[in-house]
Amino acid sequence: MDVISVIRTKRDRARLTDEQIDWVIDAYTRGEVADEQMSALAMAIFLNGMERDEIARWTAAMIASGERMDFSSLPRPTADKHSTGGVGDKITLPLAPLVAACGAAVPQLSGRGLGHTGGTLDKLESIPGWRALLSNDEMLAVLRDVGAVVCAAGDGLAPADKKLYALRDVTGTVESIPLIASSIMSKKIAEGTGSLVLDVKVGSGAFMKNIDDARELARTMVGLGTDHGVKTVALLTDMATPLGLTAGNALEVRESVEVLAGGGPSDVVELTLALAREMLDAAGLKDADPAKALADGSAMDAWRRMIAAQGGDPDAALPTARETQVITAPTSGVLTRLDAYAVGVAAWRLGAGRARKEDPVQAAAGVELHAKPGESVTAGQPLLTLHTDTPEKFDYAQQALTDSYDIGPAGTSYEPNPVVLDRIG
């Protein structure tokens, strides 16, 4: 077996054999296949796709590259959630402690920023002292004590995916259904959760731009999970407009705490509760009421314990940017469009995301929204505030926001997309 033959097979639109898949995943994990060679194969997959059985074998090979976790000793049923990535998508932060407060265990293995979408670990690392890297024993201890943990996948869990995930981010191969599905499901199946709820984003700020592609991705992942004995459902959710009023790291943590305190933007609250109900139902906790757990403070208590258990200080001040710049409304009327992708790219350029896999991120960088589509605005009022520690990035970020919003005349009607567009599974 040699990597050139594997690349050529997919380049020429043929099906990779099981033996080719098993070999190339193993060889890449061991370093026998170089990054540039796997980049070529990833691009061939991006351009030519994979059959359903190829995706299943690719996923199984990535699972087999590492260990499998086991949470059967926990006294609670396990439920996890994964989002395909969006702009302002801070839902994991309030969701994990909320579901834990309702009686489930949430072993949430999360990732870093990928392209224009934010990373949960990058967000949480803006909390002083918080650490993403936990051993398996530490993860299990936090789950026993708190009921929820958000951490990085260990080196032993699907190591092939860990390498490929970072490579896709910097080689233009992120938006591929076979690679997205196998990446997500290899980690989640190896993680050992009993049930899984997928949040598949649809719209300009998502990797799936239209609902048909999103349904295909959702069905692929639900099938992979079900085939491996994990009860899996998917919600298709709107990502034409950013979620909430912030896109960044510390900015989104601050907004998540507002949700746990009983406030926060209505779309963030609605989606958090919708996903919580799906997770609790999948875990067999049909009578639990997540809205009550938000209202009575038990979700906030679980958040504080979860952050402290991972070394963070839930009372510490979050970082703020050294420089800000305000973009104002050029005219009065009704904001009818605010493009999620443009906002995500602007936040990325301000320092909230990465251009290369080894790049650091700025904790305080990002974009703050002062109006959402459907709201009236007045000429000169703030529409967006850009946050960064490196003000030389402002011009580059503003370029991303050119033609990113529309303002209609006063009285213009606006019909928002529903937060949840469909359910698969």
Q: Which residues contact 324 (CB under 8 A, 6 or more apart)?
A: 385, 386, 387, 388
Q: Is residue 62 part of a domain?
A: no
State pLDDT tens for residues 227-275. 888 999 999 999 999 999 999 999 999 999 999 999 999 999 999 999 9
Considering the candidates 10, 112, 123, 168, report the single residue annotated as catalytic.
168
- Residue 279 and residue 146 share a domain: yes
Q: Which residues contact 100 (CB under 8 A, 6 or more apart)?
A: 106, 146, 147, 148, 302, 306
Report the pLDDT value the prediction gives residue 19, as an integer from 0 to 100.
98
- Residue 254 and residue 149 share a domain: yes
The domain in which residue 221 lies consists of: 80-309
Q: What is the pTM of this model?
A: 0.91
* Final residue of a structural domain among 263, 281, 309: 309
DSSP lists the bridge partners of residue 247 as 367
Q: Is residue 58 part of a domain?
A: no
Report the pLDDT value the prediction gives residue 362, as an integer from 0 to 100.
96
Per-residue confidence at 194, pLDDT binned at 50, 70, 90? very high
Considering the candidates 83, 126, 176, 183, report the single residue annotated as catalytic.
183
Q: Is residue 68 part of a domain?
A: no
State the CATH number of the domain containing residue 31.
Answer: 1.20.970.10
Residue spans of alpha helices (H) in 151-265: 159-169, 177-191, 211-227, 250-260
Taking the C-alpha atoms of residue 95 and residue 28, their distance in angstroms, rounded to an integer, is 35
- Residue 280 and residue 350 share a domain: no
What is the share, in percent, of the chain residues with pLDDT greater than 70?
A: 99
State the CATH number of the domain containing residue 301.
Answer: 3.40.1030.10
- Residue 117 and residue 160 share a domain: yes
Q: Is residue 317 part of a domain?
A: no
- Residue 247 and residue 142 share a domain: yes
Taking the C-alpha atoms of residue 405 and residue 333, their distance in angstroms, rounded to an integer, is 12
Report the pLDDT value the prediction gives residue 358, as an integer from 0 to 100.
74
Q: Is residue 67 part of a domain?
A: no
What average pLDDT score do residues 166-193 get?
90
* Final residue of a structural domain among 309, 339, 359: 309
* Final residue of a structural domain among 309, 335, 352: 309
- Residue 289 and residue 388 share a domain: no
What average pLDDT score do residues 359-374 get?
96
82 classed as catalytic: yes
- Residue 243 and residue 105 share a domain: yes
- Residue 134 and residue 184 share a domain: yes
Taking the C-alpha atoms of residue 100 and residue 96, their distance in angstroms, rounded to an integer, is 6
Q: Is residue 314 part of a domain?
A: no
Considering the candidates 161, 199, 267, 339, report the single residue annotated as catalytic.
161
Question: How many domains does the chain fold into?
Answer: 3
Considering the candidates 57, 81, 82, 162, report the single residue annotated as catalytic.
82
Sheet holding 405-408, edge to edge: 376-377, 333-338, 405-408
Report the pLDDT value the prediction gives residue 333, as an integer from 0 to 100.
98
Per-residue confidence at 357, pLDDT binned at 50, 70, 90? low
- Residue 331 and residue 277 share a domain: no
Per-residue confidence at 369, pLDDT binned at 50, 70, 90? very high
- Residue 246 and residue 150 share a domain: yes
70 classed as catalytic: no
Crossing angle of helices 35-48/177-191, nearest 10°? 110
The encoded tokens of residue 382 equal 């703030």
372 classed as catalytic: no
State pLDDT tens for residues 390-413. 999 999 999 999 999 999 999 999
Q: Is residue 59 part of a domain?
A: no
Considering the candidates 81, 90, 187, 277, report the single residue annotated as catalytic.
187
Q: Is residue 75 part of a domain?
A: no
- Residue 298 and residue 195 share a domain: yes
* pLDDT, averaged across the chain: 95
- Residue 342 and residue 304 share a domain: no
The number of residues in the chain equals 425
